[in-house]
Amino acid sequence: MNLKESLIRDEGLRLTVYKDTQGILTIGVGRNLETRGIMENEAMKLLENDILQCSVDLSRHLQWTNALDEPRREVLINMIFNLGPSGLLKFHKMLFALKERNYSLAAKEMLDSKWARQVGNRAKRLATQMETGVRQ
């Protein structure tokens, strides 16, 4: 048995955050999140995986969005990242306008929401990207 296998056997492998026997927030194979945290390259790998999952979720729930140009599709992925698929699906008017290729109305509907009031400049930037099709 190599060191990696030995550590997994001894520490266990947990894919969600838990408190170890000392009450320290931990994840993975004994990774102490309170004093060690994660490295930037690990954070970027997590982000890449999350973006991929959001893209898959978007395609699964709203297959027609695969035909959108990338900047507009990225707006929806950004929103799923923030709201989850169920949160995005509540934007009925925005999604209807987007499906009809009425980008100005879709942007207006994005801004006319509780979400926009909560995230502020993020919503304004994404609404501009939705309306123009130009990454902001």
Per residue in 35-59, pLDDT tens?
Answer: 999 999 999 999 999 999 999 999 9
What H or E segment, with its residue span, contains residue 118? Answer: helix 114-119
Per-residue confidence (pLDDT) for residue 101, from 0 to 100: 98
**130 with 75: CB under 8 angstroms?**
yes
Structure tokens at 119: 């995230």
Do 52 and 27 share a structural domain? no
Per-residue confidence (pLDDT) for residue 86, from 0 to 100: 98
**pTM score of the predicted model:** 0.90
Q: Tell me the residue range of the domain where 105 lies.
A: 40-132
Domain count, the chain: 2
Do 70 and 92 share a structural domain? yes
Task: Classify residue 11 by burial, with Cβ atoms within 10 Å: 0-12, 13-18, 19+.
Answer: middle
Do 48 and 23 share a structural domain? no
Strand ranges inside 1-136, DSSP E? 14-19, 25-28, 31-32
Rounded CA separation 50/37 (Å): 18
